[in-house]
Structure 1
Amino acid sequence: MQAFESSVSGILPCQSIETLIATGAIASDTPFDTDQVQPASLDLRLSDRAWRVRASFLPGQRKVEDRIADVSMHPIDLSGGYVLEKGCVYIARLQERLSLPPGLIARANPKSSTGRVDVFVRLLTDRGAAFDDVDAGYEGPLYLEIAPQTFSILVRPGTRLNQLRLKAGEPPRLETRSVGVDLDSGEGGIVGFRGRRHAGVVDLDRIDGHDPRDFWEPLSAPKGELLLDPGEFYILASREAVEIPVMQAAEMTPIDPSVGEFRVHYAGFFDPGFGTDEAHGAGSKGVLEVRTHDTPFLLEHGQIVARLVYEPLTMRPDRLYGEGGSHYQRQGLKLSKHFRAWR
C-alpha cells in the first residue's frame, strides 16, 4: 500500500477526502451521496445490517463480527426502517470501509444532530484498541455502536449518525479556548431545553418533522443559575460565539471532571468556516449537550464547561461550512434539525 504523502501535517480538507474516495482508500457498498463529504470530514452511513447486543465491547485482537457473536441478542434488518429503543445497545455495520495508507489516521465523532437527540455513538474497527480512532494502514469494515439515551430513534440504511476526520502526520494544537455556558435568559427567557423522558420516536431522516414541545421542556434561569438533575439530558448554548478559521478545524473536548459532575458534548467536530465572516456568518454559538452524573449540580452563567482545540488543515478546503445552506450556521440556542422551530 502506498504511503500517503503530504508536505505538512494536518487535517485533510474535502478535496483530499474526495481523492481518497477516487483511489479506493475510502470505499462504499453503494455510490457515495453528493453531499456526503463535508469541508473537513466525511459523513458515514448505516448499512442494512445491525445487531442488538447485551453489552458494549472493544474487539481487542479479534474482528468485530467475531466478537458480536459473543454478545448478540439477535440480528436486525434495517432495510425497511427500524426503531432503536432507548436504554438498549446496538452495533451496526456502516456502508463505508477503509484501506488507509501509512501516514494517514482517522478519528470519528457523532454528527451534531446525533448528539442533540442524546444518541451515544462510537466507531469500531476490526482489532481496534480504542473507540473512534482508526490506525494508519487500517484495512477493513467500519461499525458503529449506537445507544439511544433519552429518545428512541427510527433509522434506516443511509442514516448518518457519525462522521470521520482524516489526519496526515501529527497536527500541532494551534490553540485551546475555554467555552462557558450561557444562562442569560435574554428576551425570550429560555436558556435551554430538557428532554422529556416519555416522548415518542425521533425519525432521524425526517427534517423539521417533529413538534419540539412533544420532546422538550423549555428552561429559564432568572438568577443565572440552573440546577442539573442526575440522569437528565439538557441542550444549552455556549456564552461565546465560535468562529473556525478557513485553514483550521476544531474539536470540542470535555474539561477535567474535577470541576463539575456532568458530561458536556457528544458531538465535537467543527469544520472550517463555521461562524466566520467568509462563510457569511458573524459567529455562531456552540450548542452543548449536557448530562449529569450521580449528583445534582448547580451550573452558573459563564461557568467553563468545555474546551475547543484547534488544529491546522493540510490545505485550504474547496468549500466552507455553511456554503449552500446549513441548519446550524449562525445558530444560537438551537435544537437538532429534526425539530421545527420553537414557538
Structure 2
Amino acid sequence: MTGVIPNQQIARMVETGQIAATPAVTPAQVQPASLDLRLGHTAYRVRASFLAGHGAKVADRLTEFEMHRVDLSQGAVLEKGCVYVVPLMEHLDLPGDVQAVANAKSSTGRLDLLTRTITDGGTEFDRVAAGYSGPLYAEICPRSFSVLVRPGMRLNQIRFSRGHAVLDDAALTALHAQTPLVDGPAVIDDGLGFSVDLRLPDTTLVGYRAKPHTGVIDLDNLDHYDPAEYWEQVHTRTGQIILDPGAFYILVSREAVTIPPQYAAEMAPYLAMVGEFRVHYAGFFDPGFGHDAAGGAGSRGVLEVRCHEAPFVLEHGQVVGRLVYERMADVPTQLYGAGIASNYQGQGLKLSKHFKVPV
C-alpha cells in the first residue's frame, strides 16, 4: 500500500530480513513511523564530508579520505568541528518498491550535532534508493559541542515508504478543515508553514544560544547538565532578535502543531531567500505528535536555527519553515506520546533531554 510504513510493518521487515543488524534490531528502536539506527564500534575521522557516488562504496571512499580511526568500544569523544563517518549496526535489503529517508533524532538536532546517513552508490545525503541492498553509515559533525559516544547510541532514524505519499496543498487544506493541524490560521503553500514565537507569555526569554567554548556532553547523561554552562539565554521585549553569523539557536514555533495518527510529517526549509539562516536539523514528526483522544491539543515545534554569513533580524511571527505531511500506509499501532518514551510531547521552548529543566 502507498504511504509511510508504520511500526508494525517495520517489525515485519525486520522479521523477513529486509532490515538486519548485528547485534539484532531491538523493539526499542522501532518508532511509530521510523527505525532508530545505532552507531557501530569504529569512527573514521575524515578530511571532509563526502558522498559515495554512483557505483562506488563508502568503504572504498574511506580509504581516500580517512585520517585516523577512533575505537568507540569504551566510549570516545567526537570533537567539535571535525567530521567522522561511523558504520551503523543496521543494513538493508529493501524490496524494489520501498525507498527510505533518514534524519537526525530530535535530541541530536538540539545539540547542533549534524548527523546524516550515507549509503553505497549514494548521490544524496539521507536518501536511500528503492531496492537498496547494503550497509548504512552515519556522517557526524559536532557543530557546537564535543560529544562522548558509544556503540549502540541512536543519533539518527530512518523512515520507509512506498510510492508518493506527500499531501498536495489541496489535500492538506481539506485535512486541516477536518482535523485542525495548527491552533490558528493555516498558512498552506507547498506544505504547512510555521513561524517563530518571540513573544512568549509572561517572560522575555525566547530562546537559547550555544556558548562557543564548553565541556564535553556524554550522550548517555540525561537530565544532567546545567544549561547555563552550555547556553546563553536569549531575551527580547520587542519581539525581535538579531541572529549572529555562525551562531546556533534553540527557538520555538508560534503554532502548536498536530500530526493525526494516519499521517507523518517532515520539517523542510521554507524558502532559501527568506533569510541568512537554516531552520532544521531533526525533521521527523511522528504520527500522534501533538494529538490526543480529545481531538488534538497540539505541541510546539522546537526550531534549531543556525545563522549563515550575515547578521539577520528575526521577528515574531515570521514564517521560517514548513511541514510536509505524508500519508501512512496504515495507522501505526504505536503513536508518539502514547505509552512510549516521547520526550517532547506537549513541549514548549525546550533544550535536549541531556539538560536539567530550569526551575
TM-score range, shorter chain: over 0.9
CA distance in 2: counterparts of 1:121 and 1:141, whole angstroms? 16
Q: Using the TM superposition, give the Cα deviation of residue 45 of structure 1 relative to its aligned residue in structure 2, in angstroms.
A: 0.5
1:87 alignment partner in structure 2: 81
Map 1:214-233 onto structure 2 (within 5 A). Answer: 214-233=229-248
CA distance in 2: counterparts of 1:197 and 1:89, whole angstroms: 18
Residue type matched to 2:228 in 1?
A: R
Gaps of 5+ in 2: 173-190
Q: Is the 8 A contact 1:279 1:320 kept in 2?
A: no
Amino-acid identity (%)? 56
Give, in whole Å, the separation in 1 of the partners of 2:41 and 2:293. Answer: 39
Structure 2 partner of 1:267 = 282
* 1:3 corresponds to: none
Amino acid at match of 2:110: R
* Residues 230, 296 of structure 1: 8 Å contact kept: yes
1:279 shift after superposition = 8.8
For 1:253, which of 253, 268, 273 is the aligned residue?
268
- 2:206 is matched with 191
CA contact (8 A) 1:279 1:322 kept: no
Task: Report 1:317-336 matches (<5 A).
Answer: 317-324=332-339, 325-336=341-352
TM-superposed deviation, 1:30 = 0.5
Q: What is the rounded CA distance, in whole Å, between the counterparts of 2:214 and 2:342 in structure 1?
A: 27
Whole-Å separation in 1 of the counterparts to 2:291 and 2:223: 25
Offset at residue 171 of structure 1 (A): 1.3
Deviation at 1:342, TM superposition (A): 1.6
Give 3-state SS (helix, strand or coil) of 1:194's partner. Answer: strand
Aligned equivalents of 1:159 and 1:304: distance in 2?
34
SS of 1:321 mapped into structure 2: coil
2:52 is aligned to 59
Is the contact between residue 117 and residue 138 of structure 2 (CA under 8 Å) also seen in structure 1? yes
SS of residue matched to 2:8: helix
Separation in structure 1 between the aligned mates of residue 124 and residue 104 of structure 2, nearest angstrom:
15
What residue in structure 2 maps to residue 291 of structure 1?
306
The amino acid across from 2:27 in the alignment is T
Equivalent position SS for 2:87? strand
Query: Which residue matches 1:236?
Result: 251
C-alpha separation in 2, matches of 1:224 and 1:159: 38
Higher mean C-alpha deviation, range 28-37 or range 71-80? 28-37
- Counterparts of 1:1-343 in structure 2, within 5 Å, are 6=1, 9-60=2-53, 61-173=55-167, 174-175=171-172, 176-278=191-293, 282-324=297-339, 325-343=341-359
2-structure distance, mates of 1:181, 1:105: 32
Give 3-state SS (helix, strand or coil) of 1:115's partner: helix
How far did 1:172 drift? 3.2
Q: Cα offset for 1:281?
A: 6.3
Question: What TM-score, normalized to structure 2?
Answer: 0.92
Structure 1 residue 251 displacement after superposition: 0.4
Query: Deviations along 1:269-300, whole A, 9 cap, x unmatched?
Result: 00000001239962110000000010000000
Hey, what's the Cα distance between the residues in 2 that align with 1:88 and 1:112?
21
Residue type matched to 2:152 in 1? G
Between the two proteins, the alignment pairs up a number of residues equal to 336
Q: Distance in 1 between matches of 2:358 and 2:47?
A: 37
The answer to which of 316-325 and 96-105 deviates more is 316-325
> Could you tell me whether the CA contact under 8 Å between 1:253 and 1:308 is conserved in 2?
yes
Q: Which amino acid aligns with 1:62?
A: A
Q: 2:59 and 2:261 mapped to 1: Cα distance?
A: 40
State the Cα distance separating 1:240 from its structure 2 match. 0.2
Q: Contact conserved, 1:281 with 1:330, CA < 8 A, in 2?
A: no
- Provide structure 1 residue ranges, at least 5 long, that are not aligned to the other structure: 1-5
Q: What is aligned with 2:187? A: none
Distance in 2 separating the partners of 1:231 and 1:208: 27
SS state of the match for residue 250, structure 1? Answer: strand
8 Å CA contact 2:40–2:151 kept in 1: the answer is yes
SS at match of 1:278: coil
- Determine if contact 1:99/1:137 at 8 Å carries over to the other structure: yes
* Distance (whole Å) between structure 1 residues aligned to residue 295 and residue 18 of structure 2: 33
Aligned partner of residue 305 in structure 1, secondary structure: strand
**For 2:148 and 2:294, how far apart are their aligned partners in 1?**
33
TM-score by length of structure 1 reads 0.96
Pairwise CA RMSD:
1.2
